[in-house]
Chain A
Amino acid sequence: MSEQAPRSLPAWTGNLLLSATTFCIFVAGWEAAVWAFGIPKIVLPPPSAIAVAFWQSLADGELGWHLSVTLYEILVGFVVGSAGGLVLGFIIALSPLMERIFYPYVVAFQTVPKVAIAPIIVIWFGYGAASKVVITATIAFFPLLANTIMGLRATPQDQVDMMVSYTASRWQVFRMVRLMQALPYIFVGLDVAIVLSVIGAIVGEFVGAKAGLGYLILQKNFNFDMAGTFAILIILSLIGVGLHVVISMAQRRIVFWMDMSGEHVTGA
């Protein structure tokens, strides 16, 4: 047998182990604190009660419907908003005239808290999913816009010079270099936008809705069902994490050259 060093476990197993351990300690401490100090269930439910509520809502047919409504609002709002930000970002980055026309409005619009205009949007678009899609889209819009503009301007002059010295046209420089340089920035924008989209949909449902996880949270809150509320919060964070993972995976495939230089030393 050759003296081959044992293959070390991939870094993520270590991370996972660490997270799992902290999670267990945290949950155990919470449970113990609730019992030890006799905290009432309607102030802070113990993890065991949340687990039961979580299980019950899964078994309950209602949850699937509310979940699908919220997911629909998140995804459609995200796609519409980020596509809009992407397109306007290209237009602004590529045309100085368009930049002068649009950019002041974009900045003004960005400074308005989207949560504050949510009630207006609900009045305009009704209590159904449409108003939540619009709210989500307005929130997802800006990260894409800002990152697309920044990305399209990130190309080093060296690379443009190199392309031009081989007689590349403006379009060739754009397609072969500037677009590729913008991709990492666009993915950062998508990642921010997807997380904000979850917030957008829930805020919209808080303002006025007939269905959805936000609506369900309000309902359970009115009934002092704290364990049930927490259970839905867990579902919401699972949605957020899941969508973030999807984006990260796409990013790692498409912008593959960004973490190639990074054979970083992690841990021991």
Chain B
Amino acid sequence: MASAMPAASLAPRHSAPAAAHTAAQCLVRIAGLQKIYKTRDGNDIHALKDIDLDIRDAEFISIVGPSGCGKTTLLKILAGILSRTSGEVTMAGRSLSGPSRELGVVFQAPVLLPWRTVLQNVMVPIQVQRRDRAVFEARARALIAMVGLAGFEHKYPSELSGGMQQRVGICRALVHDPSFLLMDEPFGALDAMTRESMNEELQRLWRESRKTILLVTHSIPEAVYLADRVVVMTPRPGRIVDVLDIDLPRPRTLAMQNTPEFGRFVAAIRRHFGATGSLDT
């Protein structure tokens, strides 16, 4: 991996006195956030209700919750591509009003452009943000190799499997070395083996680069394995019902998943879904 983006780069350019005492600690503050989707038949959908959450700088945070509880909605609001109905979101001390160059987003579907090769797809953020192509192309190739797709640089998305496409999407989110990474079920389309090695890569990348990462996942063990804190959500309306501090030592190993401490965290989270049982293991 290339060198880390300094964490300070997300700090406000001009000092904001009101937020000064938290600016160093807290990257994102979400207070009283609501999202109501207006539907055509008039039945509004209350996708997010009273969401309060602070995300600390360089923190790894996981969100788990059953399908339809508003995880993607929250992530899109943080990415600046979806408006909020009410509430306040500040990022690095400033009210969030749109997308940022410091952001990398992995979407739930790969969303690759079919007329671009793997490498060209990964380079989309570089082209959009008019960064130095020569510098970042080397980085793009390194990322492609990191996710196990070396040799596929010049293939088109239609020539790749779903899991391979998803990994291209991960490279695209990382290529411009963003300091804040939003990932929406990035490993959903992968087999168990690839998923585990991707989890290890992600932990290593996070430890080396000190990025802030928000990971949405269906897998409780994955959430516990990677995160400093796990946010548990429930649907209708989407709310946060629990936030667990995962104080397992770092670096974590896959073997840790068999320890009683790990099991206790998994059980504590699973209790919230006991009745519905709608999550994977």
Contact indicator B128/A167 (Cβ below 8 Å): yes
In the bound assembly, the distance between CA atoms of A177 and B127 in angstroms comes to: 13
Which single residue of chain B is at the shortest CB-CB distance from A163? B128
Contact indicator A161/B158 (Cβ below 8 Å): no
Q: Which label, helix, strand, loop or mixed, suits the secondary structure of the B interface?
A: loop
Given A180-B115, A257-B156, A260-B159, A165-B103 contact (CB < 8 Å): yes
A13 CB to nearest B CB, Å = 26
Contact count A vs B, C-beta below 8 Å: 58
User: How many of A's residues come within 8 Å of B, CB to CB?
Assistant: 18
In the bound assembly, the distance between CA atoms of A164 and B99 in angstroms comes to: 7
B136 CB to nearest A CB, Å = 13
Most A-side CB within 10 Å, residue of B103, B115, B129, B159? B115
Among B85-93, B106-114, B203-211, B253-261, which stretch is in contact with chain A?
A: B106-114
User: How many of B's residues come within 8 Å of A, CB to CB?
Assistant: 25
Answer yes or no: A22 CB below 8 A from chain B CBs: no
Contact indicator B113/A159 (Cβ below 8 Å): yes
Contact indicator A161/B100 (Cβ below 8 Å): no
Q: Which residues of B contact A172 (CB under 8 A)?
A: 128
Q: Which residues of A contact B11 (CB under 8 A)?
A: none
B143 CB to nearest A CB, Å = 15
Which single residue of chain A is at the shortest CB-CB distance from B80? A165
Q: Which residues of A contact B127 (CB under 8 A)?
A: 176
Answer yes or no: A241 CB below 8 A from chain B CBs: no
Contact indicator A166/B128 (Cβ below 8 Å): yes
Which single residue of chain B is at the shortest CB-CB distance from A258? B114
Contact indicator B76/A163 (Cβ below 8 Å): no
Answer yes or no: B105 CB below 8 A from chain A CBs: yes
Contact indicator B158/A163 (Cβ below 8 Å): no
Given A158-B111, A172-B128, A180-B115, A165-B99 contact (CB < 8 Å): yes
In the bound assembly, the distance between CA atoms of A163 and B129 in angstroms comes to: 11
Given A158-B111, A165-B80, A168-B128, A260-B103 contact (CB < 8 Å): no
User: Which residues B112-127 have CB closer than 8 A to chain A?
Assistant: 113-115, 124-125, 127
Contact indicator B113/A180 (Cβ below 8 Å): yes
Given A158-B109, A159-B111, A165-B79 contact (CB < 8 Å): yes
A257 CB to nearest B CB, Å = 4
In the bound assembly, the distance between CA atoms of A158 and B98 in angstroms comes to: 16
Contact indicator A162/B115 (Cβ below 8 Å): no
Q: Which residues of A contact B98 (CB under 8 A)?
A: 167
Bitwise interface map of A from 147 to 183 toward B, beta carbon under 8 Å scored 1, else 0 = 0000000000011011111111000100011001000
Q: Which residues of A contact B115 (CB under 8 A)?
A: 180, 256-257
Answer yes or no: B101 CB below 8 A from chain A CBs: yes
In the bound assembly, the distance between CA atoms of A159 and B157 in angstroms comes to: 14
Given A177-B113, A180-B113, A180-B115, A166-B76 contact (CB < 8 Å): no
Answer yes or no: A261 CB below 8 A from chain B CBs: yes
User: Which residues A224-267 have CB closer than 8 A to chain B?
Assistant: 256-257, 260-261
Contact indicator A167/B81 (Cβ below 8 Å): no
Most A-side CB within 10 Å, residue of B99, B103, B129? B99
Contact indicator A162/B128 (Cβ below 8 Å): no
Contact indicator A261/B80 (Cβ below 8 Å): no
Partner-A contacts on B (CB < 8 A): 76, 79-81, 98-101, 103, 105, 107, 109, 111, 113-115, 124-125, 127-129, 156, 158-159, 176
Q: What are 29 A-B pairs at a CB distance below 8 A?
A: A158-B111, A159-B111, A161-B79, A161-B81, A162-B105, A162-B111, A162-B124, A163-B124, A164-B80, A165-B79, A165-B81, A165-B103, A166-B99, A166-B124, A166-B125, A167-B98, A167-B100, A167-B128, A167-B129, A168-B128, A172-B128, A176-B128, A180-B113, A180-B115, A257-B114, A257-B156, A260-B114, A260-B156, A260-B158
